[in-house]
Structure 1
Amino acid sequence: MNSHAHVKKPKTMAAILMIGSFIGLFGETALNMALTNIMEDFSISAGTAQWLTTGYLLVLAILVPLSAYLVRWFTTRQLIVSALLISSLGALLAALAPSFSVLLIGRLVQAIGTGIFLPLMFSVILLIFPIQKRGSVMGIVGLVITAGPALGPTLSGLIINASSWHYIFWVMIVLNILLLIGALKTENVSDISKPKIDVASLVLSTVSFGGIIFSLATLAETSFTEPTVWAPLLAGMIALLLFISRQLKMPQPMVNLRVFKYPMFALGTLLMFITLFVILSVAILIPIYLKSVLAYTSIAAGLLMLPANLINIIMAPIVGSNFDRVGARIFTRAGFALVTVAAIVFLLILSATTPVWQVIAALCILFLGISMTIMPAQTHAMNQLPPELYADGSAAMNTLTQLAGAAGTAIAITLFTAGQQNYIAEFGAGIPPEFLAFGTHYAFYAVLVAAAIGLVGSLFIKNTRAATK
């Protein structure tokens, strides 16, 4: 049996999927550089503004589990075209937003498009390329996943400097329309079996992921003792347990959790989760720090983040092309070691008077490490699964990685706010750069803990070959 589906132009199809996913992932963090501007325009706090990122990621986390259904209900072309049209509609709403609530709705609609696109990219690329070519192809996929969120602040900084944050969305609309022209000729590679959609699973997954992330995000401005924090968390945890139990009992589950019976898939997914948690935490903290503490403009802050992104862009294809020879074990260990070192450096240097070259150097170390963790962990995990489980594995992995991004953003802002409050309680609010710097420093403890868990996890990676069941 062939391990891949034959299409006329696999590279063109892969390019459309990757560019579409890049635009969506760029959207995850594009507004991070504009948060201070948006906070001024709509007179809102950082805790409220972060919903533009957290809400986006939350919709992805809720929608991605549906992807295993969607690819069996609709053709590949239908899904790509629909995703691009929905993303464009959301971007249009956001670009024209007269108020924060309309801007947030636009973001959530945009996220629906990305939530369709992202898992589709994984499952289709795994289907159209033979296993021996996956290392280099997934290297580019890894670049898309990291470069999208990482380049968001840099590119949006340039756009904001040239005009205003509204134009971030106009740029996305133009790119989506251009991509739509190519998407009209894509071939179908999915097996249309139209399985019955389990409404109970859909409700449980929405309540579980929605409740947990809502609780984490609300913590930024509300005490844990408040019902608005603990009630959604409790509801989310109960719904999650019921969801897991239901999926394991169903003959055709919404998310096939049996993929986690493959130990290296489970471990690879955990390492992906940690990497996305770190990327999204840093992508929201550093722009705020550079603009609010060190007083850089949007364009300067964006350009200062560029060297680290360039390292990631250069390294991704190098790691991809050497993956089959070096293996996931060495790459993930080296990568998480570097990410851990970078987190320690940030904790040592971050203050109101830190020389900016030190921040850039620490970012470069961090992204050098990330370039070695994300693609090897992802490819190694997916290679453990037989072809019939690719869509299920992709849905499970993407759900958890989007949850990681939402959790990273929510926890980063929560700790950032808590750190400021602790500082103000002790020293007063007389010098804003001082308490903002302390808040950023405080939030990096979460990055260090995540990196350390990733480093320990990488020690258990085994260079096993793909499943052949």
Structure 2
Amino acid sequence: MKPLTRWLFIATMLVGTFTMSISQSSLSTAYPTLMKYFLISADTVQWLTTGFMIVMCITMPISPWLLNNISFKQLFMGALLLFDLGTLIIFWGPNFYMVMLGRIMEAAAVGVLFPSYQTVLLEITPEQKRGTIMGVAGLVMGSALACGPIISGIVLRYTSWRGLFIFFMVVITLVLLISLFVMRDVMPRVPSKLDWVSVFYSLGLIGLLYVITKAGQPGAEWPVLLVILALSILLLVFFVRRQLTVANPMLDLWVMKSFNYDLSVLLTGFSYISLIVVTIIFPLYYQQVLGASPFVSGMALVPGAALLSLLNPLTGTLADKIGFKPTMLVGMTMIVVGWGILAMVPIFNIWGMIGIAMLIEGGNAFVMMPAVTLGANSLPNQLVSHGTAVITTVRQVLGSTGVAVATLILVNLTGHAIEHGAGLHAANQLGFHAVYWTFFGVAIVGFVIATLIRSTQPNDAN
């Protein structure tokens, strides 16, 4: 591609994916409004996000097959169109079930596009510049997640909840029209039949994520959850076995034979846990302990999101220059220090919390996308699409697990403290403090993983 064509291609792809990514985390701010509008409970409205994440994880493993069998232009525009139609259904939805249907359509589109756009960026970028371009891609993965609640808070301040989906429709429709002229078919295709047995086995992810989500809620029915968990694990065992034995697997899990790749998968997951827990737990701390309003708690996420957006491209370039391992060690050090301060030093000032959020989110910029790039560099080119799909899926599962664990600790310890006579404010402090210690430990494990990883050059020979 010519330089201008290439720039328009990448910009269009990133803007579309960024907008779709925002929808993943944007609805949390609108929960109270939606609960009143549809007369539903908090447990029900949360499925707009929980269901989104589950469906997204189900469609991610199918992305390598789609890249091998459909032109990328058709795939990209098809995902945009599916997202647009889902958003339109949400906008016109007369009841919660129609809104949920629209969210499922949105999630399917995002699940297909998330691994695909990363694979395409790696495919069209010279090996020595992969870190830089994936740093830019980090704007989509990290910044969009952090920006979701901020953008929705601003939109909801001036319009109704439907205004949020008007925003999505306008942007995605514009990107869809531009795609007609700038998108190209850049991926080699290897036609094959879709293995529907593997698709069925992959449904175990639904059960696994359902259990993870429900485990973090009060009043969980553990006997039922344990049965679902056992069946889900059995399906996933069958899924893994099939991918390792059939001639043309839907998701080639032989990528896991590279130890360096495995470490990269874990490292990007651990950094993502810190990012998503900060964006969900910190606003709760601002409101429940510091007494901030929902709008202020949403706007308090802006500095961290801004720093993350600023650093992502810079850390990618840094990884290309000094190596991936040193870059990721810097990031994990920042994350460990951030959680460590929270665990050891009580902070009752919102500005201090904003500073900690900036430290943790800034550290994520040094870790998540460099780890994705290093993982891709550890694989032969023909397996990059499968490797990216595995990383993206595992990251979502670990992120969901992190949120569930944080919620479980927060709810149970706060409730236990209240039962033993503690005031609500003191009980909340205890719950949040336990969360901080937990993820301080998680961050230390991530740092150890970063010390074990090896900086590698891209190669085609593995």
Structure 1, residues 34-84: CA drift from partner, whole Å, max 9, x if none? Answer: 334434545555544433222211111111000011112211111111111
Match of 1:368 among 334, 338, 362: 362
Q: Alpha carbons of 1:226 and 1:189: their partners in 2 closer, same or farther (altered >3 Å)? A: same
Aligned partner of 1:328 among 324, 348, 354 = 324
Q: Secondary structure at the match of 1:427?
A: coil
- Shift in Å at residue 6 of structure 1? 8.8
Q: Does 1:283 align with 2:275?
A: no
Matches within 5 A, 1:40-51: 40-42=36-38, 44=40, 46-51=42-47
Match of 2:202 among 195, 198, 205: 205
Q: What is the rounded CA distance, in whole Å, between the counterparts of 2:36 and 2:343 in structure 1?
A: 29
Q: Shift of residue 292 of structure 1?
A: 4.3
2:451 aligned residue (445, 453, 459): 459
What do residues 347-394 of structure 1 show as CA deviations (whole Å, max 9, x unaligned)? 34568xx21112111101111211111122111111122211121112
The answer to whether the Cα contact below 8 Å between 1:83 and 1:116 also exists between their aligned partners in 2 is: yes
Say which is worse superposed, 166-175 or 87-96, in terms of deviation: 87-96
Partner secondary structure for residue 357 of structure 1:
helix
TM-score by length of 2: 0.93
Q: Which moved more, 1:32-41 or 1:5-14?
A: 5-14
Contact (CA 8 Å) 2:318, 2:327: kept in 1 or not?
no
2:387 alignment partner in structure 1 = 393
Q: Distance in 2 between matches of 1:30 and 1:117?
A: 18
Comparing 155-164 with 439-448, greater Cα deviation is found at 439-448
Instruction: State the alpha-carbon separation in 2 of the partners of residues 55 and 332 from structure 1.
Output: 32
Give CA deviations for 1:296-334 in whole Å, capped at 9, x if unaligned.
334322221111112112211221112122111111112
Distance 1:303 1:86, change over 3 A: same
Evaluate the alpha carbon distance shift between residue 384 and residue 50 of structure 1 in structure 2; reply closer, same or farther with a 3 A threshold.
same
Letter in 1 for 2:175: L
- Tell me if the contact between 1:275 and 1:370 (Cα under 8 Å) persists in the aligned partners: yes
The equivalent residue for 2:415 is 421
Matched ranges for 1:224-373 at <5 A: 226-348=222-344, 354-373=348-367
- C-alpha distance in 1 between matches for 2:32 and 2:429: 15
CA distance in 2, matches of 1:243, 1:202: 8
Q: Give the Cα–Cα distance (whole angstroms) in 1 for the partners of residues 236 and 224 of structure 2.
A: 18
- Does the alignment pair 1:216 with 2:216? no
Q: Which residue does 2:57 correspond to in 1?
A: 61
Q: Residues 127 and 268 (structure 1 numbering): CA distance in 2 closer, same or farther, change over 3 Å? A: same
CA distance in 1, matches of 2:91, 2:339: 35
- Return the match for 1:148 from 144, 155, 169: 144
| Ranges in structure 1 where 5+ consecutive residues have no aligned partner | none
* One-letter amino acid matched to 2:444: A
Q: Secondary structure at the match of 1:228?
A: helix
Q: CA 1:449–1:34 in 2, change beyond 3 Å: closer, same or farther?
A: farther
Do 2:243 and 2:252's aligned partners in 1 also have CA atoms closer than 8 Å? yes
Amino acid at match of 2:371: A
Relative distance call for 1:149 and 1:67 in structure 2 (3 A) is: same
Displacement after TM superposition at 1:191 (Å) = 2.9
* Letter matched to residue 331 of structure 2: G
Q: Is the 8 A contact 1:328 1:461 kept in 2?
A: no
1:448 aligns with 440
2:178 aligns with one of 182, 193, 208? 182
C-alpha displacement of 1:232 = 1.5
Q: Do the aligned partners of 2:218 and 2:411 also contact (CA within 8 Å) in 1? A: no
Shift of 1:444: 3.5
Q: 2:404 aligns with which of 396, 404, 410?
A: 410
* Identical aligned residues as a percent: 27
**Residues of 1 paired with 2:27 and 2:413: CA distance?**
23
- Rounded Cα–Cα distance in structure 2 between residues aligned with 1:331 and 1:105: 42
Provide the C-alpha distance between the structure 1 equivalents of 2:321 and 2:354, rounded to a whole number of angstroms. Answer: 31
Q: CA deviation at 1:159?
A: 1.2
Match of 2:191 among 174, 194, 201: 194
How far apart are the structure 2 equivalents of 1:49 and 1:443?
24
Secondary structure at the counterpart of residue 134 of structure 2: helix
Gaps of 5+ in 2: none
Distance in 2 between residues matched to 1:238 and 1:450, nearest whole Å: 27
Shift of 1:143: 2.3
**Of 363, 380, 383, the match for 2:377:** 383
Separation in structure 2 between the aligned mates of residue 363 and residue 414 of structure 1, nearest angstrom: 21
TM-score (norm 1): 0.91
Please report how far the alpha carbon of residue 114 of structure 1 lies from its aligned counterpart in structure 2 after TM superposition: 0.6
Q: For residue 255 of structure 1, report the CA deviation from its aligned partner.
A: 0.9
Q: How many residues were matched structurally?
A: 460
Q: In the superposition, relative to structure 1, how do residues 382 and 211 fare at CA in structure 2: closer, same or farther (>3 Å)?
A: same
2:36 matches 1:16: no
The Cα of 1:127 is off from its aligned counterpart by 1.4
Aligned equivalents of 2:419, 2:104: Cα separation in 1: 36
Question: Per the alignment, do residues 137 and 172 of structure 1 end up closer, same or farther by CA in structure 2, a change over 3 Å counting?
Answer: same
Distance 1:423 1:173, change over 3 A: farther
Conservation of the 8 A alpha-carbon contact between 1:36 and 1:288: no
Contact 2:274 2:360 in 1 (8 A): no
CA distance in 2: counterparts of 1:87 and 1:350, whole angstroms: 43
SS in 2 for 1:34: helix
SS at the partner of 2:452?
coil
SS at match of 1:9: helix
Conserved 8 A contact 1:222-1:229: no
- 1:156–1:302 Cα contact (<8 Å) kept: no
